[in-house]
Every structure is written in structure tokens, then in C-alpha cells.
């Protein structure tokens, strides 16, 4: 059974493997992160852990029984009991309810562990799968999202009160 775990230093190699294995799949929905992201991954991972330590963000990974990462689920820009939700799941588990179940779980953690009252998430207009995950998880559309908010593509903001 996969387990949602708070991001830790020892997740670095599994997260990098997840990102590399799914790079082309992710780039179909949002702009590619570019080679620099992968070349500087260790530094970026350390920076995420520092942000998490400062309580401005909370990063989670969905870890399979074999230790591989099946997805990343992030709460960023935590301020005034509100945060932005971002997530991505591996191509081989997409369409199986993994993202929806984990987003629902993270919504509970956002309220109980992080004291959040509202979550926002932006998704590209053509990303029907992400829109479905959000609506099944209790989010409602609240307005347009700029391309800068959605990896370079026009989109929609969704919101959920916890």
C-alpha cells in the first residue's frame, strides 16, 4: 500500500528517478523543467527542505512499498491559513484514482497538521485529468489562471474550503 510521506533528505534519489522517468509525460501537461533542473537537483532538493523547515511550504511524496516515488504532492505559499496545492503522479499509476485519493488525504493533513482552511490549485485548461482530480476532491473553479501559474499554459484556479 503506498504511503504519503513528508519529504525528507533521503527521498532525493527516488524523487529524481521519478522526475526523470516521467519527464516526457509531465511535459505534455506543463512546460518541461529543463536540463538545469535535473543537473542541479541535489541543490533544489535541499532548498525545498529548507522551505519546508521554515513552514512556508510542505512537500509530500507518495512512496510505493518498494521505495519508489509514485507522486509528489505539495502545499506551497502557506500564509494566512491558505496554501496552493500542486501535484503530479507517475504515468504508470495515472487514471487509477491514485491522485484523487492522495489529494483527499492531503486535504485532511492540510487542515489537521498544517492548520490550513483554504487550498487553491491551478490547472491547464486542456488538463482534463487534473480538473477531474480537483472536482472529485471537493475543489470548485473560481477563475482564470495565467500561464505563469500553470507551467506556461492558460488555465483555471480551483479552490476548496477545508
In this predicted structure, the answer to whether residue 31 has a pLDDT above a threshold of 80 is no
In this predicted structure, the answer to whether residue 52 has a pLDDT above a threshold of 90 is yes
The pTM of the full predicted model, rounded to 2 decimals, is 0.94
Residue 114 makes CB contacts below 8 A (sequence gap 6+) with 58, 75, 78, 83
pLDDT for the residue numbered 63: 98
In this predicted structure, the answer to whether residue 34 has a pLDDT above a threshold of 90 is no
In this predicted structure, the answer to whether residue 3 has a pLDDT above a threshold of 80 is yes
Confidence of residue 114 (pLDDT cuts 50, 70, 90): very high
Contact criterion met (CB below 8 Å) for 154 and 125: yes
The HSE-up count of residue 60 (CA atoms within 13 Å, CB side) is: 22
In this predicted structure, the answer to whether residue 27 has a pLDDT above a threshold of 90 is no
Amino acid at each position: 500500500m503506498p504511503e504519503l510521506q513528508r519529504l525528507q533528505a533521503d527521498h532525493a534519489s527516488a524523487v529524481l528517478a521519478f522526475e526523470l522517468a516521467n519527464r516526457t509525460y509531465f511535459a505534455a501537461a506543463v512546460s518541461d523543467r529543463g536540463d538545469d533542473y535535473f543537473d542541479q537537483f541535489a541543490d533544489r532538493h535541499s532548498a525545498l527542505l529548507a522551505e519546508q523547515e521554515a513552514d512556508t511550504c510542505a512537500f509530500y511524496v507518495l512512496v510505493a512499498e518498494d521505495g519508489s516515488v509514485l507522486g509528489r504532492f505539495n502545499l506551497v505559499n502557506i500564509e494566512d491559513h491558505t496554501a496552493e496545492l500542486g501535484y503530479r503522479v507517475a504515468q504508470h499509476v495515472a487514471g487509477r484514482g491514485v491522485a484523487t485519493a492522495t489529494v483527499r488525504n492531503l486535504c485532511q493533513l492540510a487542515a489537521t497538521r498544517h492548520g490550513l482552511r483554504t487550498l487553491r490549485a491551478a490547472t491547464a485548461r486542456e488538463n482534463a485529468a487534473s480538473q477531474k482530480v480537483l472536482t472529485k476532491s471537493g475543489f470548485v473553479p473560481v477563475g482564470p489562471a495565467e500561464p505563469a501559474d500553470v507551467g506556461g499554459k492558460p488555465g483555471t484556479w480551483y479552490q476548496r474550503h477545508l
